[in-house]
């Protein structure tokens, strides 16, 4: 087995982080197992590796971040990804959450993860290549438009702050599908769970969060960083 997926050895620092996430209710058993197998350290630039098991976001490149493990765990738990599901992620970043979703979707499932910044698109692809996951595809583009050629999706997760629910993502959500997305302004957002049932959308706010902006046609306009 290639590195990036645990070969049965216990990493005490990762175990400590996972235990806290379980105790605090951010992770459930399946998410914990995914985090045990897919080590966050492998998805970080070398300078950030010493901080891999801290429950905090960490800088990647181009002003973007890998989210805090607690938030990643909660989003993944809310999604309830099962084997064989088709999943779309908007905002690949480091590729860590895509890898966790790929682990949960299993060999019969498929994860597409879209990234709009070329450097991060390459970074996520290279990080994924360190694992033996073969069901995760990183795609370059504007994820606010979804991925019509592969729709509908059983699960969609957006890992950047949206000013509103992007209509293409709602359209591309399958019946009985779940969408997890932070919605709000630039200072904080509400992590929102949207479920589709009999064509109707039901949504609820779960937690206040802070994410980098979702930029694109159905997101925020592009602005140069001050
Ligand atoms: N899920 C990531 C991980 O596991 O490392 C963290 C994602 S980071 C918080 C948010 C990412 O969303 C950034 O890499 C950013 O470039 C990307 N992003 C923002 N708007 C986007 C869009 N319209 N389409 C695709 N990616 C987008």
Catalytic residue IDs: 67
- What is the number of domains present in the chain? 1
Q: Is residue 166 part of a domain?
A: yes
| Cα 66 to middle of ligand 1, angstroms | 9
Q: Is residue 223 part of a domain?
A: no
Cβ–Cβ under 8 Å, residues 134 and 161: no
Q: Is residue 121 part of a domain?
A: yes
Structure pTM? Answer: 0.96
Q: Is residue 98 part of a domain?
A: yes
Pocket lining: 179 vs ligand 1, CB cutoff 6 Å: no
Q: Is residue 7 part of a domain?
A: no
| Cα 9 to middle of ligand 1, angstroms | 31
Q: Is residue 219 part of a domain?
A: no
Q: Is residue 59 part of a domain?
A: yes
- Hey, whose CA ends up nearest to atom 17 of ligand 1? 91
Domain hosting residue 156, numbered range? 12-209
CATH number at residue 135: 3.40.50.150
The pLDDT tens digits along the chain (226 residues) read 444 566 667 899 999 999 999 999 999 999 999 999 999 999 999 999 999 999 999 999 999 999 999 999 999 999 999 999 999 999 999 999 999 999 999 999 999 999 999 999 999 999 999 999 999 999 999 999 999 999 999 999 999 999 999 999 999 999 999 999 999 998 999 999 999 999 999 999 999 999 999 999 999 998 765 4
């Amino acid at each position: 087995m290639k590195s990036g997926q645990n070969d049965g050895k216990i990493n005490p620092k990762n175990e400590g982080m996972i235990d806290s996430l379980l105790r605090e209710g951010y992770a459930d058993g399946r998410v914990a197992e995914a985090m045990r197998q897919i080590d966050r350290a492998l998805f970080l630039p070398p300078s950030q590796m010493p901080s891999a098991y801290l429950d905090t976001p960490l800088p990647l490149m181009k002003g973007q971040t890998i989210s805090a493990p607690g938030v990643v765990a909660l989003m993944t738990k809310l999604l309830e990804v099962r084997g064989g599901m088709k999943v779309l992620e908007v905002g690949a970043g480091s590729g860590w959450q895509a890898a966790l979703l790929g682990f949960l979707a299993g060999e019969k499932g498929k994860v597409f993860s879209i990234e709009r910044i070329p450097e991060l698109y390459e970074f996520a692809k290279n990080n994924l290549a360190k694992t033996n996951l073969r069901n995760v595809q990183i795609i370059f583009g504007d994820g606010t438009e979804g991925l019509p050629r592969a729709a509908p999706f059983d699960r969609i997760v957006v890992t950047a702050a949206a000013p509103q629910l992007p209509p293409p993502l709602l359209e591309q959500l399958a019946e009985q599908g779940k969408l997890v997305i932070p919605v709000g302004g630039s200072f904080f957002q509400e992590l929102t769970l949207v479920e589709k049932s009999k064509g109707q959308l039901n949504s609820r706010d779960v937690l206040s969060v802070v994410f980098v902006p979702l930029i694109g046609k159905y997101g925020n306009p592009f602005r140069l960083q001050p």
